[in-house]
Amino acid sequence: EPEVTQTPSHQVTQMGQEVILRCVPISNHLYFYWYRQILGQKVEFLVSFYNNEISEKSEIFDDQFSVERPDGSNFTLKIRSTKLEDSAMYFCATARSSRTGEEKLFFGSGTQLSVL
């Protein structure tokens, strides 16, 4: 069964450093998302991406965050200058259907980001 692949599975970084989290979507999926989950808290939406541009973004997704699809396959989330509060599990999710309401979102296995 096709799956969303995320790398790395764990990332440890120093505060202020840049990190790039990578995702390979399921091949025929068109909609891409980043969510995050701080330990013990809700899964929170960060950003959605369609047709090579951001569709929606949350208040969390400030100027320190950016997304791109550099080579038509990978989908990346960059955090320019990490803060302690960025420590979380980051999930990439992708979907195929274009009909809102019937769209099934499939999550990758996540990248656990630890900012020291």
Partner 1 sequence: QKEVEQNSGPLSVPEGAIASLNCTYSDRGSQSFFWYRQYSGKSPELIMFIYSNGDKEDGRFTAQLNKASQYVSLLIRDSQPSDSATYLCAARGSARQLTFGSGTQLTVLP
Site residues, partner 1 (CB under 8 A): 31, 33, 35, 41-45, 48, 55-56, 58, 91, 95, 100-110
Map residue 3 onto helix, strand or coil.
Answer: coil
Residue 16 CB, nearest approach to partner 1 (Å): 27
Q: Which is nearer to partner 1, 17 or 98 (CB)?
A: 98
d(CA 96, CA 82): 31
Residue 87 CB, nearest approach to partner 1 (Å): 15
Is the separation of the CB atoms in 34 and 46 below 8 Å? yes
| Cα 59 off chain centre by | 15
Residue 11 CB, nearest approach to partner 1 (Å): 15
Q: Which is nearer to partner 1, 8 or 16 (CB)?
A: 8
Q: Please give the order of strands across the beta sheet that includes 65-68.
A: 5-7, 19-24, 75-79, 65-68
Q: Which is nearer to partner 1, 13 or 58 (CB)?
A: 58
d(CA 18, CA 54): 21
Residue 28 CB, nearest approach to partner 1 (Å): 17
